[in-house]
Structure 1
Amino acid sequence: MLKEGEIRIPSGCAIAAIIDRKGKPVNGSEIIKSIALMHDRSNGLGGGFAAYGIYPEHKNDYAFHVFYDNKEARQACEEFLFKHFNIDVAERIPTKKVESINNGPDIWRYFGTANRVRMNNARLDEEEYVARSVTNVNNSIDGAYIFSCGKNMGCFKAVGYPEDVGEFYMLDKYNAYIWTAHGRFPTNTPGWWGGAHPFNILDWSIVHNGEISSYDANRRYIEQFGYKCSMQTDTEVITYLFDHLLRHHKLPIDVAADVLTAPEWDEIDRMDDERKEYFTNLRTIYSGALVNGPFSVILGSNKGLLAINDRLKLRSLTAATKGNRAYFASEESAIRIVCPNPDKVWSVSGAEPVFIPLEIEEEDE
């Protein structure tokens, strides 16, 4: 197997996604098949998936997926979780033996709701309480890492090729209305279980192909608001930027995408007055959130799927639709292997976000 640093693939990494807009189930075997076609874009140093709608029996609970390096880390983390949340279920995540995946952490999941007394005493809303609790664990308990913490969703990741990761977690036994997937070829950061994609906070999850040359500026900006970038990869900061813009600032999702991919000043100067004012305001107010470098990104959430490319479209990203389903992938072939005859296929343009909303009707409680 190639080792990190032996070869550099400028367009390496693969991303893929599937959504059924009406919330109909899509079996995990489909997203595994899609990402597996792009095997050569990975080097075995990271693969992962995010799935939405997989825990309907716990849809009102937060699902915490946790890596543990040792028993002491699990004891400390569980003590924290049981104190700050009403945990209904604590169990190991089911896995199967896969020859290429080994030396991994102990992997657990917990379902529960926020402890209202502690939350109210902290004077935080529910989502902020959960986000801060996860940040606390990941930065204060050595050997414990909460890598997924949303409702009715979960991330599954490891060091390995993505198709092996999918087999390891037995994702063909899961059905979801949204899937995202990533095959990693790290070039500047280490390949380790926590550094595999997707990255998650609450319901937001990110898979990313590219390099963020503005990482230090973005990290300094987002850490002003209580976030901690500790996962040794530039992708983590994109997740926090979206969470901050969408949850704290309540920006529409397309506006948040425009913040990250805003045009250069000379291009803004040539715009008509309305667009010039719009982008001038975005670049002025959110200067630290502008992301530079080559990238294609898919943001998953319980609201739908968002796909964006950098301004110069230096990373490939293809989209397609078929009935109520939409697909994204780094290569068109990765879409056609699961959807041979799509109704529409197109290349996602630079800095022009594509958002596919989830249109599930909420059931009466």
Structure 2
Amino acid sequence: MERLWRVPSGCAVFGILNQDGRRISGETVIRAMAVMHERSNGLGGGFAAYGIYPEYSELYAFHVLYDDPHRRPDLETYLKERFVIEKAEIIPTRKTRAIPAYPLFIRYFLRLRGTEGDEEDEVVRVVMDINAHFPGAYVISSGKNMGIFKGVGYPEDIGELFRLDEYEGYCWIAHGRFPTNTAGWWGGAHPFGLLSFSVVHNGEISSYGINRRYLQNFGYCCTLQTDTEVIAYLVDLLVRRHGVPVEWLGAILAAPFWEQIDAMEEPKKSLYRALRITYGGALLNGPFSIIVGFPGGMFGLVDRIKLRPMVAAWKREVFYLASEEAAVREVEPSPERVVELRAGEVVVGRVGEKVIHGQKLALSRV
């Protein structure tokens, strides 16, 4: 029966960003995902929301999934050694017929006690340590003023379970379907996140083994049993640690083929060659379309052959990304512009800025 669920063209992804910073109800995103119900299969769904914790905006918001609730005392002892826990609570849920049983979800609002190095690097080390050495406990969200809510079920049912209609955020990304090549489980559903980056993904990363070994060189540990996890860590490595502009990620994660680079004119040719050589281990192979949320923005990317669909749309200050145009039109019947992303193309939106459409590399920004 499993093969009946594994439709390779599946996965629903959706993102919405209000570029004037005003917050949008989670009910809007749930409706958009429900339109793409047939792309899901009930084995995974989830949402990432930005701007939902304004009263704790300066604190790290850890969402922790406890497959084994008995691990909670040990983990909280560990957290108290490294953070001041300003608040800890069970993430509110409501009873649903579709999801009668689920793991324990606790959220912690944390202030780092102090570190000799970079604060965000220390938080990443804590997340890696917990997910690798506390069996039965997983940090699924660790950013500021944002959170990830996910599990086994259709996305609209996950939204109902976590009462996401009661949340408001300036940016949301969402996913329907299960983790690629892995049995559906609560920690393996999308989105995947690290600090304030979050990722949803339609497709399959066939270069997972190479990408995973590459990331290990920089201290990242992949423990969540799915290929999409490497995308979240690669974005953190490239954007936060190496300072690569978001607009350049298509030239690295979905780099052109060598023959395409060789056909370019200088100085573009030398630039693309340098990026391909420097970040060869970050190249993602396989069919994919990706939406990434980050503080103050959202971007979409499709693979270099365009084997998975992605549409971008705009209506005044609101920027949309989706697997299907129907999802956009469910919540915005009259978008001003709708485009299909081209192979390897990046489209970016930020709060307070106009959307940048297309992958453009400026030598002055190298």
Matched-pair identity in %: 51
Partner of 1:253: 246
Determine the structure 2 residue equivalent to 1:351. Answer: 344
Q: Is the CA contact (8 Å cut-off) linking 1:303 and 1:358 kept in structure 2?
A: yes
Asked if 1:165 corresponds to 2:163, the answer is: no
Shift of 1:223: 1.1
Distance 1:86 1:196, change over 3 A: same
* Residue 103 (structure 2) pairs with residue 110 (structure 1): no
Q: Give, in whole Å, the separation in 2 of the partners of 1:155 and 1:187.
A: 19
1:2-81 correspondence to structure 2 within 5 Å: 4-81=2-79
Question: CA RMSD, aligned part only?
Answer: 1.2
User: In structure 2, what is the equivalent of residue 85 of structure 1?
Assistant: 83
In 1, are the aligned partners of 2:249 and 2:346 still within 8 Å (CA)? no
Query: Which of 130, 135, 149 is 1:142 aligned to?
Result: 135
Amino acid at match of 2:55: E
Matches within 5 A, 1:195-274: 195-274=188-267
How far, CA to CA, are the matches of 2:292 and 2:123 in structure 1?
20
User: Cα offset for 1:71?
Assistant: 3.3
Superposed displacement of residue 303, structure 1: 2.9
1:186 Cα shift? 4.5
Q: 1:283 aligns with which of 276, 284, 291?
A: 276
Name the counterpart of 2:285.
Answer: 292
**Is the CA contact 1:4–1:187 (under 8 Å) kept in the aligned structure 2?**
no
Which consecutive aligned stretches of 4+ in structure 1 deviate over 4 angstroms post-superposition? none
TM-score normalised over the length of structure 1: 0.95
Q: For residue 81 of structure 2, what is the amino acid of its counterpart?
A: K
For 1:268 and 1:69, locate their aligned partners in 2 and report how far apart those are by CA, in whole Å: 47
Q: Distance in 1 between matches of 2:127 and 2:141?
A: 9
Q: What do the CA deviations read for 1:131-170 (whole angstroms, capped 9, x no partner)?
A: 1111111111111101000000000001000000000000
Contact 2:179–2:228 (8 Å) recurs in 1: no
State the 1:72 CA deviation: 2.3
Q: How many angstroms does 1:211 deviate by?
A: 0.4
- Tell me which residue corresponds to 2:363: none
Counterpart in 1 of 2:97?
Answer: 99
Corresponding residue pairs, total: 353
Candidates 179, 184, 193, aligned match of 1:191 = 184
Q: Tell me the residue number matched to 1:182.
A: 175
Provide, for residues 162-211 of structure 1, a one-character-per-residue CA deviation record: whole Å limited to 9, x for no partner.
00000000000000000000001455212100000000000000000000
**Aligned 8 A contact 1:5 1:187 in 2:** no
Q: Please give the secondary structure, in 1, of the residue aligned with 2:344.
A: coil
SS of residue in 2 equivalent to 1:98: coil
**CA–CA separation in structure 1 for the residues paired with 2:94 and 2:2:** 26
The residue type equivalent to 1:64 in the other structure is F
Paired with 2:26 and 2:217, the residues of 1 have a C-alpha distance of 38
Report the TM-score, using the length of structure 2 for normalisation.
0.94
Tell me how far apart the structure 1 counterparts of residues 215 and 290 of structure 2 sit (CA, whole Å).
Answer: 18
Q: Aligned letter for 1:135?
A: M
Q: Deviations over 1:229-268 (max 9, x none)?
A: 1111100000000100111111111123321011111111
Task: Specify the alignment match of 1:301 in structure 2.
Answer: 294
- Separation in 1, partners of 2:28, 2:5: 30
What amino acid does structure 1 have at the position aligned with 2:77? E
Write out aligned runs for 1:118-129 (5 A): 119-120=115-116, 124-129=117-122
- TM-superposed CA distance for 1:357, in Å, is 1.1
* Contact residue 302 and residue 358 of structure 1 kept, 8 A: no
Q: Could you tell me which residue of structure 2 aligns to residue 363 of structure 1? A: none
SS of 2:321's partner is strand
Paired residues of 2:180 and 2:226 also in contact (CA < 8 A) = no
